[in-house]
Chain A
Amino acid sequence: MATKGERILEVRDLVKHFPLTQGILFKKQIGAIKAVDGVSFDLNRGETLGIVGESGCGKSTLAKVLMALERPTSGSVTINGRDIAKAKGPELKRMRRNIQMVMQDPYTSLNPRMTVGDIIGEPFDIHTEVAPKGDRRRKVQELLEVVGLNPDHINRYPHQFSGGQRQRIGIARGLALQPEIIVCDEPVSALDVSIQAQVINLLERLQNEFDLAYIFIAHDLSVVRHISDRVAVMYLGKVVELGKDTEIYDKPAHPYTQALLSAVPVPDPEGREQRERIILQGDPPSPANPPSGCRFRTRCWKAQEICAEEEPLLQIRQGTAHESACHFAETHDVVHVG
């Protein structure tokens, strides 16, 4: 086993454009939805990288590309030195053992016509070399126990479980192949708050137990803060700010991050009085036709001419300790708590 903190995932300049076509017989490309447009980050063993952003900013597409469910338009996703985006056939299948997924909706992510034993055992049926046939049932029961479910329930069907329990089944399926990386695509947003806490705590316990690295995608900022070591903020297909959780939450440098944070509900009435609300005008522009230069400039109160002409790169800027993509980056504590 390699040491903790070793880099296991490298994403470089990842781009995913979905072509927009016109015509039925002779399809002509008239444009592209730029769902993910030049995203780079690293992930270390045992670390959690949170990815936040509003709906439609490309979070889920990023997850699909990382899982090799979609081929990227360009760029690379390197896991332990090999590019999964270019892998094919048996090599891709072998690499999938290293990166698994927990999906958003526990009601549709489990096949309603399979028993829990078959659902969690499916990874072993696909990757027959992982567990000998006679051993699989015992392994499935172990996994059920690991995620806090009763191993005797192996013959039950998904509809006999609650949402939180179903999500545990999804997590057990993701764990079966003992991956190093788990991509969690909004794993708790379909659950109610008390169950969210249970699932988040389970994820944290499993991380410590198996030294897992998580890519944790969510739009709930407090959940991301709770679980993440580092956080990336996405806007319209690009990462606008990337840093440690404390840096992002206490010293946000990008105006978009500041606006996002100012929208987080504060449970303490006194804190609520103190904090400032930044209300953004308008809607996010279409990813088919993003603004020139900085993509946030159409809604930014700091925007000047340079923002339309020159695209701000994601880099460490003056007065901040972490990377941000804004010409006028400046730390500003919006939350004033914690």
Chain B
Amino acid sequence: MSNDPQVGPVQTVTAPTPPGKLKKEAKPASLWGDAFYDLRRRPMFIVSCVLIAILLVMSFWPSLFTSINPFDAKTCELATARQGPSAGHIFGRDSLGCDVYARTIFGARNSIVIGVSTTIITAIVGGLLGLLAGARGGAVDTVTSRVTEVFFAIPWILGALLISATFRDANLGIWIVVIALAVLAWPMTFRIMRAAVITARSQDFVVAARALGASQSRVMFGHLLPNAVAPVIVIATINLGGFISAEAALSFLGVGVQSPDISWGLMIADARNRFLEAPLPLVFPAVFLSITVLAFIMLGDAVRDALDPKLR
């Protein structure tokens, strides 16, 4: 090797560590471990978790929050329809004279189960297929992308009506709504995931992993997924509110949750005809719906930030 005067002498960036000092900071760190450690310190995460916990308790044990059973017709009095808040009925009464507070509490289960399950199903199905299509490219990508385009071409309300009507006799209850919404909503998650994966795929660290001999699944789940999951988390938590209101639209059209069963969407749909005379029967379920959506969006935001080491 020749010595070029332009290049300086050997320099080291950091001072060499004395032997025996290696033990410090010995606990291995990982992305998910660090993310969880970081999450526990975020007020937004704690607030959203407390809210979600309260909502979940509300959906599974609604009688803890109210002594009135809204399914019991005796608790409704037509004579008192659309009455404002009073001592025993803090949210007032709806157009059939039923207690709005009790109905809101009991409606939580259907709305939350539909919103959360649809979100989870679309995130997993759309996310995995998007990851596969983006990572593999070629024929796998072409086929799955064309299939999603078929789903995109179906107007969702028609598609959901068709699916719900087809499986009406199967007695699936609210799960019909979950299936109908999930079938029509996964392509959006798919597209977002696919685009994010394609962006990540062309980066050098993926090439480096392949040069090391990393398997396809290691590249997909170790490198591509953590770098592509952020937009999917954001869109999934935003969609959650959309699914709860979509359920209302389906109820209004006569499929999905039907009276005398209760859901927030159904309550909002019922109350909006008389909104100007009696706004409260609409406002209360709408506020609960907003709080639910907000809690999940905050959770998603906190998780997304925790998964990005640069934002910690």
Contacts and interface: CB of A to CB of B under 8 A. Distances in A.
Nearest to A250: B2
B170 interface: no
B307 A141 contact: no
A152 B21 contact: yes
Contacts of A150: 14, 17
A245 interface: yes
Nearest to B225: A113
A337 B205 CA distance: 40
B218 interface: yes
**A interface bracket (residues with beta carbon within 8 Å of B):** 35 or more
Interface string B221-261: 01100110000000000000000000000000000000000
Contacts of A152: 17, 21-22, 24-25
Contacts of B291: none
B6 interface: yes
A244 B204 CA distance: 32
Given A108-B205, A109-B204, A165-B13, A154 B309 contact: no
Contact of B13 (A97, A159, A173, A198): A198
A61 interface: no
Contact of B208 (A48, A109, A197): A109
B1 A115 contact: no
Interface string A100-123: 110111001111111101100011
B67 interface: no
Interface stretch (B27-35, B153-161, B181-189): B27-35
Contacts of B307: 113
A286 interface: no
A157 B35 CA distance: 12
Contacts of A104: 204
Contacts of A138: 22
Contacts of B3: 226
Nearest to A198: B11
A112 to B, nearest CB: 7
A115 B21 contact: no
A113 B28 contact: no
Q: Is the interface of B mostly helix, strand, loop or mixed?
A: loop
A204 B2 CA distance: 12
Given A96-B211, A113-B309, A226-B3, A108 B203 contact: yes
Interface string B54-93: 0000000000000000000000000000000000000000
A148 interface: yes
A205 interface: yes
Interface in B197-222: 203-205, 207-215, 218, 222
Contacts of B226: 111, 113-114
A228 interface: yes
Interface string B3-17: 110111111111011
Chain B interface size, as a band, is 35 or more
Given A111-B227, A157-B309, A197-B8, A101 B211 contact: yes
Contacts of B310: 112, 157, 159
Contacts of A168: 13
Nearest to A125: B218
Contacts of A110: 205, 208
A200 B309 contact: no
Nearest to A205: B10
Interface in A63-122: 67, 69, 92-93, 96-97, 100-101, 103-105, 108-115, 117-118, 122
Given A115-B30, A222-B6, A92 B213 contact: yes
Given A115-B29, A138-B22, A69 B207 contact: yes
A96 B213 contact: yes
B210 A126 contact: no
Contact of B25 (A101, A154, A204, A205): A154
A201 B9 contact: yes
B11 A123 contact: no
Contacts of A198: 8, 10-13
A229 interface: yes
Contacts of B205: 108-111
Given A170-B208, A198-B12, 17 more contacts: A96-B212, A100-B211, A110-B208, A111-B209, A111-B226, A114-B222, A115-B29, A115-B31, A115-B34, A137-B28, A151-B17, A151-B22, A152-B24, A165-B13, A222-B7, A225-B4, A246-B2
9 closest residue pairs by CB, A with B:
A155-B29, A157-B309, A109-B204, A226-B4, A148-B12, A93-B213, A96-B213, A108-B204, A111-B205
